[in-house]
Amino acid sequence: MSTEQTQRLASMRYYLFERPLHPELFEIYDDVHLLRDGYEARIWVTGCTHVISFYRDEQSMVEVIASEDGTDLPQRGRALSWALRGERSHQRRRPDGISYMMSFQAETMSSRVYHKVHHELARQGTRRGLFVPFPMWMDQSLTPFTYISYEAKANHLHVLAWHAFPEALTIVKTQSLFELG
């Protein structure tokens, strides 16, 4: 995957897979591996994008935010694919007891509001979770970044992610909940 392509907001998509995905498909900048009694999860920062994999026994659900340009994601096991524009939410309950809820919002702001939100998220990101800035993709005075905050409990994983696109004055926010039933 070309890292330049991960920065094109216009080509961003949300995907949901009901199968594991190999790390070789992504350029991983930071990650966390979570083991709980009932599940295993992985969170990868893959540019101003992410992958959240949730596994229970042999079952899996994988959320991917990625550019459709240059991303060679498989068709097999793909349950959903949406353009990352506006707001959207989805719920899915699998017969194996995994429940999944998500919402995303791509919000374009005025320059003044964007600068304030960007600085506040960057400040929060340095305190907890995964925070990865991408100064090599800087187009203006602000740095693109991904900030992921998560809470992993015995029976659920709650993930909040923010992807900052300064050139478009846009923050993409996702909220995901994987739960065992």
pLDDT in tens, 88-119: 999 999 888 899 999 999 999 999 999 999 99
Number of compact structural domains in the chain: 1
Q: Domain containing 176: what range?
A: 3-180
Of 1, 47, 43, nearest to 25 (Cα)? 1
As a whole number of angstroms, the distance between CA 162 and CA 172 comes to: 6
Helix, strand counts (H, E) of the chain: 1, 12
pLDDT at 137: 77
Helix, strand, or coil here: 47? coil
As a whole number of angstroms, the distance between CA 140 and CA 33 comes to: 34
Find out whether 161 and 173 touch, Cβ atoms under 8 Å.
yes
pLDDT in tens, 41-74: 999 999 999 999 999 988 999 999 998 875 689 9
The position carrying tokens 């949300």 is: 14
pLDDT at 71: 67
pTM over 0.85: yes
| DSSP for 61-125, written as a single string | EEEEEEESSS----STTEEEEEE--SEEEEEEE-TTSEEEEEEEEEEE--HHHHHHHHHHHHHHH
Give CA 147 to chain center in angstroms. 9
